[in-house]
Amino acid sequence: MKIYVDADACPVVGIVEMTAKKYKLPVCLLCDTNHVLQSEYSEVKIIGAGADAVDFALINLCKRGDIVVTQDYGVAAMALGKGAYGIHQSGRLYTNDNIDRLLMERHMAKEARRASQKHHSKGPKKRTKEDDIQFAAAFEMLIGNALELESKGSDSN
């Protein structure tokens, strides 16, 4: 199991690394040339700039049982399709039960913006300490569940 982070402007990289260290899990941070990162723990892959370049690189790397941290619903949907686990930086888990609804909501919001000719929104609310706590708890729970499922799968082989 490996953790892949869509790390361009991702506010939870530190939490991901701290939790991954605890479980001795490898982490790969993917970013484009506009968001160069450094890490003492994680492997950092700098992907050439371009629309969706990081997203496609992440999906090409991840495999069944890996964990993907992304705020992009499209990336999450592709990760789920490969049998990986997905989590949003808010702590929301992406599942086969909620991904279609999330993609539809994203599409409807885009259409509403287009129809109203409104191209500027206020953007996301400022991240709080509570947001970090919520993500950390959900991420740790996801890792625990994934490790448990992985061990049950290897027991049956």
Would you say residue 88 lies in a domain?
yes
Would you say residue 104 lies in a domain?
no
Mean pLDDT of 141-147: 96
Alpha helices in 62-93 (DSSP H): 73-81
Total structural domains in the chain? 1
Q: Reply yes or no on whether the pLDDT at 12 is more than 50.
A: yes
Would you say residue 110 lies in a domain?
no
Task: Please name the helix (run of DSSP H) or strand (run of DSSP E) that holds residue 142, with its range, or none.
Answer: helix 129-155
What is the per-residue pLDDT for 125?
A: 77
Would you say residue 46 lies in a domain?
yes
| pLDDT tier for residue 121 given thresholds of 50, 70 and 90 | low
Q: Reply yes or no on whether the pLDDT at 124 is more than 90.
A: no
Would you say residue 107 lies in a domain?
no
Q: Express each pLDDT in 52-67 by its tens digit.
A: 899 999 999 999 999 9
Tokens standing for residue 27? 């982490």
Would you say residue 118 lies in a domain?
no
**Distance (Å, rounded) from C-alpha 67 to C-alpha 147?**
11
Domain of 33 in residue numbering reads as: 3-96+123-155
Rounded mean pLDDT of the chain? 88
**Distance (Å, rounded) from C-alpha 4 to C-alpha 6?**
7
Would you say residue 116 lies in a domain?
no
Burial track 31-70 (b if 16+ CB lie within 10 A, e otherwise): bbeebebeeeebeebbbeeeeeebbebbbeebeebbbbbb
157 or 77: whose pLDDT is higher? 77
| Three-class DSSP category at 111 | helix
**Across 33-120, where does the E strand assignment appear?**
43-47, 67-69, 85-87, 93-94
Q: Express each pLDDT in 125-137 by its tens digit.
A: 789 999 999 999 9
Which domain CATH number covers 150? 3.40.50
| pLDDT tier for residue 157 given thresholds of 50, 70 and 90 | very low
Mean pLDDT of 72-95: 94
Would you say residue 115 lies in a domain?
no
Task: Name the DSSP class of 53.
Answer: H
What is the per-residue pLDDT for 62?
A: 97
- Determine what percent of the chain is predicted with pLDDT higher than 90: 64
